[in-house]
Structure 1
């Protein structure tokens, strides 16, 4: 690439005025050629490069080491080194470039390792620059030649032969320091969310019986300080009635216009909150050309209904359920690979059912009745025989209120994380050339 005139990013710290220079990457980095010949690092120190997590210990990340018989020819990676992985990812077809922030280790010869020229470059700045997919792909595309097996045909030294725009070392450090502070905030929020989720999990274990026929360890009391009645054991089918759902595929749905919305099982697995509010979720419409005249009124969803995903590839998600808390009078039906379960409203407080079916003793029963090898499935008949412990409606209300308050806190932190990530993405796009 020919050297271009200097440029400036749209967002910049006010004390810096000079244009960014169009520098060959080998002015900022140089190839590290240290090998693990003395076997200082064993297979437990082999590193992997992840698009999301960066450079991580392979065993911690993947569960085991994938190293060859010998690791004596592996590249040594020190903290602060830059690693280029010559493996295509969906968003990065020419590989990714990451900074080692955690611990020293080794990588296979399929990787290239570089040192940072401390006179001209700051490692975290380089890392942030290449954290943008557009920057990584734009830089590597002219350099990399792909082989017949989609492998990368590029010499380690040649990786450094193109150019990027870079400011002075002091501006690099200021940019990286600012973005690191944003990352730290995201990490703090993520940890806060994890702690709230752990707390909720512990509370769930206390508020619901450890097994059928047993009493919960933690009970609410009535307004007079007296204990509520003993929980009653009921079958799922004693409390819930099952209704027919549709079999429309994604091809029959759209996100732009329609009169009836459709809850797809895939969205239950990946997107929807267990406390479903239609105005808070992105729910597809059924295409206008689909005839819905044969859908009975009873098969339209109602508030308090459960929609259960009856198919999954793993036990953790089989029977995953959402409770419909708010529908705002919109027409909604449950779709492909779901059950619609409607509770007896005289026995169930709205908002409680969704937590009840998440209780560990209920989940254990659901996983036990799942059938299949590659794809697990449930049937209403089998689900109907699951045993449930049911408290009185007043105690249900208190349990649901307490757990929903925790969910509100968790969702609030999740929103803050998303907002911070969006803020960071905008900064990355505006603070680099």
Structure 2
């Protein structure tokens, strides 16, 4: 590719004036050919590349090692190396590019490993540049050929064949430091979010095992919980269905069609028409209804619908006058793992409405349920506030990434 003229980003630190150069990536990086031939690193030190977490230990990230029988030909990744993974992700169909900020390890041949050319490049600047999906896809799309099995047809040297705009190293480091500060704040908020979730689990454990009990306003005890009756004794249930996909008109309406993975969302990917609703077993639910996911990867998840919409057969709506829905939500949420573990072999497969109806869920009197619900709702509100702060900061970071880099 021909070298284009220099550029200046929209937002910039005022002490820098020079235009950014359009450099081929091989001016910044070089291929690392260091292999694990001496078996210095074992299968326990194999690394994975995550879009969200970066370069992490595979066992810690995925729960097990996926290494082959021998790891002697695996590439060595040292701290400060850049890694390109030649496998598609949903938002990155040509792979991702990350910097190793952690301990050294090894990666399979599905990854390319690069060293920095120290005089020209700052590794954190390069990672921040490629942290935008649009930048990664824009850079890799012209270079990568996809194989019949969606594998990447590109050699490690050719990955460095295209160009990006870069400033002098001093400005690279200044930009990287700025975004590192934002990342630190995001990580602090994520840790706070995780701690709140763990706190909620601890509170639910004490509540649902009756280690702690609430009192009436006058200080007296509530009645004992009823523990020997099935949920169907107290609730009504219904699930939906799917309009015929062969009738295009059924999917040209404005009724949100809630799938099992969308019971906690305020949007849906698909909509159906009134005609599609009337000519199928799809059922309407209301905002505020308790929804339970029966099928697929989300089996056992529970939520309170944020919208009016129709449900398919993978979603069960539960309505009860004798359960506070936030109490019931908390119970099903807390015991999701044990329910799925008991009724699904290895956690795979589908639940059924009959299984949910047969669950024996302890029932305090409604006044105590409401006290429990209030406690859990207060914690949820704190979790939502922190989550919103995380999303707002991510949006702020993305906007700055778009304005502080040249393309």
Please indicate the TM-score interval, normalised by the length of the shorter structure. 0.7 to 0.9
Q: What does residue 310 of structure 1 align with? A: 294
Q: What does residue 230 of structure 1 align with? A: 224
Cα drift, residue 205 of structure 1: 0.9
Change (3 A) 1:117 1:376: same
Which has the higher mean CA deviation after the structures are superposed, 233-242 or 163-172?
233-242
Matches of 2:277 and 2:46, distance apart in 1:
58
Q: In the TM superposition, what whole-angstrom CA distance separates every residue of 1:393-431 from its partner, at most 9, and x where no partner exists?
A: 211111101100001111111111111111111122111
Matches of 1:82 and 1:373, distance apart in 2:
36
Q: What does residue 303 of structure 2 align with? A: 322
- Are 2:388 and 1:407 equivalent residues in the alignment? no
Q: Show the 5 A alignment for 1:346-385.
A: 347-349=322-324, 351-360=326-335, 364=338, 368-369=342-343, 375-380=349-354, 382-385=355-358
Matches of 1:162 and 1:332, distance apart in 2:
47
Change (3 A) 1:5 1:191: same
- Are 2:267 and 1:282 equivalent residues in the alignment? yes
- Are 2:308 and 1:340 equivalent residues in the alignment? no
Change (3 A) 1:397 1:173: same
Which has the higher mean CA deviation after the structures are superposed, 127-136 or 153-162?
153-162
Q: What does residue 259 of structure 2 align with? A: 264
1:419 maps to which of 384, 392, 405: 392
Does structure 1 conserve the Cα–Cα contact (< 8 Å) formed by 2:239 and 2:313?
no
Matches of 2:163 and 2:340, distance apart in 1:
57
Cα drift, residue 253 of structure 1: 4.9
Matches of 1:300 and 1:87, distance apart in 2:
40
Cα drift, residue 25 of structure 1: 1.9
TM-score normalised to structure 2 length? 0.86
Q: Show the 5 A alignment for 1:117-136.
A: 117-136=117-136
Structure 2 unmatched runs, 5+: none
Matches of 2:309 and 2:149, distance apart in 1:
47
TM-score normalised to structure 1 length? 0.81
Q: Show the 5 A alignment for 1:65-80.
A: 65-80=65-80
Q: What does residue 115 of structure 1 align with? A: 115
Give the number of aligned pairs: 401
Does structure 1 conserve the Cα–Cα contact (< 8 Å) formed by 2:242 and 2:281?
no
The alignment partner of 2:361 has SS state of: strand
Q: Show the 5 A alignment for 1:386-401.
A: 386-401=359-374
Cα drift, residue 94 of structure 1: 3.5
Change (3 A) 1:245 1:157: closer
Matches of 2:357 and 2:179, distance apart in 1:
53
Matches of 1:71 and 1:220, distance apart in 2:
57
Change (3 A) 1:60 1:348: closer
Q: What does residue 193 of structure 1 align with? A: 193
Change (3 A) 1:247 1:102: same
Q: What does residue 184 of structure 2 align with? A: 184
Matches of 1:18 and 1:203, distance apart in 2:
57
Change (3 A) 1:414 1:38: same
Does structure 1 conserve the Cα–Cα contact (< 8 Å) formed by 2:77 and 2:113?
yes
Structure 1 unmatched runs, 5+: 210-215, 273-280
